[in-house]
Structure 1
Amino acid sequence: MKILLTGISTRALAESALKTFSYAEILTLDYFGDYDQQRQCENYSLKRTFQRVFTPQGLLKASQILHFDSVIYTANLENYPSVVRKFQDRSLLLGNSPETLSRVRSPEIFFPFLEDAGIPYPKTFYGPVPKLRGRGSQPVPGQVEGMEAPDPLPSSSKIRPSRATFLQKPVLSGGGFHISPTTPTSRPVAGKKGRWIIQEYIEGLPCSALFLANGQESVLIGLTEQLIGRKEFGSSAFRYCGNILGKIWKEGTGGEFINRLAEITNALTREFHLKGVNGMDFILKDGIPYLLEVNPRYTAAMELVERAYPLNVVEAHIKSFEGSLPLFNLLDHVEKGYWGKAILFAEKNLKIPLLQKDWFERGIRDIPFKGERISRGNPICTLFAYGTSKEVCYQELVNKAGVLKAELG
């Protein structure tokens, strides 16, 4: 069986797949097609092979010259169920169905379900006539008694928009792009970027829960603190730039907290018939996980699970479509430490002068080619670190970023 892995970036997904499948069984089609991606597997790149900008429709068109039997997709195809349906028409879809994507990514369906299920989320305006939904800061079911979010990382990972309590976000969101402060009296607008929602800003810890599902039940496989807008990595505003995997709760409350998150992922799984690997983004404040969205596909944080825990994500993903979920207890593994990744963005226009083999041996991934030009604000590469504490892990990421910036000049 030939498996196509496709999305804006498939390097991490391919690394996982190649632990289970042979080189001949894996085919990748993405935008970046970086040095290490082409070194490890057969890769076709919109940027390099086809000289095209990234669009999901571009991936679909490029795939027409490729031969494959099944497909696994990653970001941001979850926002384009019609494209996923066309892949499904041609091959075995090893991912959430177009019907599931249409429902779980629709604010008109998703937020009313959260309301009915008693799952906390920020106040949210959406629809042609703004309709306010959400529980705000009122007491809600599911708060763990006496539990608070852990201390934030140095420089604080909390986002503080000036004088704003609401944010405007595109419905077809991804990576924190095009998010800006607004007011609750503004209307969601339709423009060339598509539909928008207006959502209450909650000052807390940005987190994600990673889980496997089989349509009826789910298993948590990891929890992360998200790195958002970190200037140390050339990021800003609400732009995603990494994760730190490990404990995100105060000592002594892990069991209750994980059980509450499991209740939420099980409810989501049953309502939306989620299958395979999924991510759930939320803000943790005063012991309450305020749910923001579900990413119904392989997420950027998944590769940290494989670095930290004895679990092959792609193998477990495929088995979930047969109804099988791993016997995995997250609490058995989280005491081992913290694993982090950070995307390093260019702070100025630059040209890559170095031999990439050295970068690869140093554990760097998503490596550009020698001589490649990268514009300010675009990603350069991905860095990884381990630490016995969250602070040590984060500082190691910062140190590695500093070394690489000095090398690039």
Structure 2
Amino acid sequence: MVLIVGASVRAAAFSALRAGFDPVAIDLFADWDLQHVCQAHRLEPANYPEGLATQTALLPRSPWCYTGAIENHPDLIDRITRDRPLWGNSGEVVRRVRDPFALTDLLRRFGLPAVDTRRHSRGLPTDGSWLVKRLRSAGGAHIRPFIANEPGPSEGIECLQRRLIGPSGSAVFVGTRGGSARLVGVTRQWIGHEGAAFGYLGSLGPVRVARNVQTQLQQLGAVLAGEFELRGLFGVDFVLSHGKAWPVEVNPRPTASVEVLEWATGRSLFREHAEAFNAEDAENVYDGHETCPDHRPMKVGKLVVFAPVEGRVPDAMTWKVVDPRSGPWPKLADLPPPGTVFQPGQPVLTLLDAAATASACRSRLIRRLARWRTRLRSWGEATEPPPNAGQHG
């Protein structure tokens, strides 16, 4: 058994199942597909995140790991770790690596690209060339341009970061014992949705980057693992600008891009994550297969569907759930239980797809996104539940 906690843990739990583990999940959704493949507990949003400590204390002692956005609560990480072994980075590691000023200083010390970061707005232009960012955030939430007639950063809560223009990407690493790290792969990130101009929308990968960028990312992973003692899966969000990858955030836990790279490469990344903390336990549950089920080399994408209107999932809805241990990769994930009420801008479900090329995969996802937005509008407008849509995704 491995306990997985976070705001949304479906992707990590599926990864753990594919690796042969028996996950128990606690998050804010207890999605339909999650409930049908493992023991899943829903935490009421009003009790998040502190209620996680109460719920974990009621479960049998086992290793545990966390997903986003628990890195914003290092004290909570330390509290849960007192009672069970952690397959993840400690609260102390998280405090250091999530400090944007410490990160900037470290990158500059090693001659790596570092985005200008400030505590105060004095002397900065108010033309949107700087961004106001919360010190504790995830998924691109709570980011806004610093412009005239708008408030500046709240001291101790927000900071300012120079805005870079270019494609957004994410590099996934596995930090290993001894302070080293290996680069798993790079994904392109899609940014911006209703209610969050810089919010995470989806990923596609693996993508190729120029050789100098590949070298830079490998050096970056080694520096972060060596200096901050990062272990297991972690990600670095970056902007590609002027031929360099400029890190804008380090996520010291499994990221949204992990399942994209698992599907695309066939690697069991949760197993690699577990081995970074307890190789013996990971080997005991591993069945000897080097790839994930149904693997073929390809480009893989995921896209979060956000509600365009207020609505409700029909009571008669029946989702087809794919068992990640034996079945093909799902085309739909993070499935809301029937009767779930959603508000405009809220995530409703996730689309997954694969194709031989990145452009074909992107086109498939965009077409499917348009169909699902139309369907969600019909759920918002219907006075009677529409016919069961099934999993037509």
Shorter-chain TM range is 0.7 to 0.9
- Tell me the CA shift for residue 390 of structure 1: 2.3
TM-score, with structure 1 as normaliser: 0.80
Deviations 1:304-345 (A, max 9, x none): 1111112111110011125899xxxxxxxxx94421000000
Distance 1:206 1:54, change over 3 A: farther
Deviations 1:207-257 (A, max 9, x none): 100010115111111201111015xxx5751111111112243xxx3x433
- Partner Cα separation in structure 2 for residue 31 and residue 204 of structure 1: 33
- Partner Cα separation in structure 1 for residue 355 and residue 19 of structure 2: 28
Contact 1:225 1:248 in 2 (8 A): no
Gap regions ≥5 residues in structure 2: 283-295, 323-327, 379-393
Asked if 1:376 corresponds to 2:340, the answer is: no
Find the residue that maps to 2:364 and give its secondary structure.
helix
- Partner Cα separation in structure 2 for residue 356 and residue 277 of structure 1: 34
Contact 2:36 2:321 in 1 (8 A): no
RMSD: 2.6
Asked if 1:239 corresponds to 2:222, the answer is: no
Distance 1:132 1:300, change over 3 A: farther
- Tell me the CA shift for residue 108 of structure 1: 3.3
- Tell me the CA shift for residue 27 of structure 1: 1.0
Q: Tell me what 2:274 maps to.
A: 318
Deviations 1:96-136 (A, max 9, x none): 1111111001123222111211111221102xx66999xxx
- Tell me the CA shift for residue 178 of structure 1: 1.2
- Partner Cα separation in structure 1 for residue 174 and residue 360 of structure 2: 29
Q: Counterparts of 1:118-267 in structure 2 under 5 Å?
A: 118-126=111-119, 163-182=127-146, 188-190=153-155, 195-215=157-177, 216-230=179-193, 236-249=196-209, 253=210, 255-267=211-223
The amino acid across from 2:62 in the alignment is D
- Tell me the CA shift for residue 356 of structure 1: 3.2
Q: Tell me what 1:43 maps to.
A: 40
TM-score, with structure 2 as normaliser: 0.83
What is the percent sequence identity of the aligned residues? 29
Find the residue that maps to 2:142 and give its secondary structure.
coil
The amino acid across from 1:285 in the alignment is S
Q: Tell me what 1:27 maps to.
A: 24
Q: Tell me what 1:363 maps to.
A: 331
Asked if 1:405 corresponds to 2:367, the answer is: no
The amino acid across from 1:240 in the alignment is Y
- Tell me the CA shift for residue 295 of structure 1: 0.2
Gap regions ≥5 residues in structure 1: 134-161, 326-334
- Tell me the CA shift for residue 64 of structure 1: 2.2
Distance 1:242 1:94, change over 3 A: same
The amino acid across from 1:380 in the alignment is V
Q: Tell me what 2:389 maps to.
A: none
Contact 1:123 1:132 in 2 (8 A): no
For these two proteins, the number of residue pairs brought into alignment is 353
Contact 1:3 1:70 in 2 (8 A): yes
Contact 1:168 1:196 in 2 (8 A): yes
- Tell me the CA shift for residue 163 of structure 1: 4.3
